[in-house]
């Protein structure tokens, strides 16, 4: 019997849909980039016009090439 879409899958789909929608907007506010040496990457934090806040890391090195420190 069909009980609908898995709630976790639905949550992931909604998150993806939100990120695609935000990619077509300009951030309302963007905090200064912070280098996180433990992960050799930049932390990016943005606030969007609708009040959503996103945070992610960005690195120029592939995951397998990171050095241990």
Residue 29 lies in a domain: yes
Whole-angstrom distance, CA of residue 3 vs CA of residue 31: 43
- Cut 0.85: pTM above it: no
Residue 2 lies in a domain: no
Residue 19 lies in a domain: yes
Residue 37 lies in a domain: yes
Mean pLDDT along residues 1-14: 85
**Best CA proximity match to 56, nearest among 66, 42, 67:** 42
Residue 18 lies in a domain: yes
**Best CA proximity match to 46, nearest among 37, 36, 33:** 33
Q: What is the number of structural domains in the chain? A: 1
Residue 15 lies in a domain: yes
Range of the domain at 36: 7-65
Q: Are 62 and 40 in contact (CB under 8 A)?
A: no
Mean pLDDT along residues 55-61: 83
As beta bridge partners, residue 58 has 42
Per-residue pLDDT at 11: 93
């Amino acid at each position: 019997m069909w009980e609908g879409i898995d709630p976790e899958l639905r949550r992931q789909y909604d998150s993806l849909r939100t990120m695609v929608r935000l990619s077509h907007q300009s951030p309302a506010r963007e905090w200064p980039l912070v280098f996180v040496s433990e992960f050799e990457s930049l932390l990016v934090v943005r606030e969007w016009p609708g009040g959503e806040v996103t945070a992610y890391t960005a690195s120029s090195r592939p995951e397998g090439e990171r050095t241990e420190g």
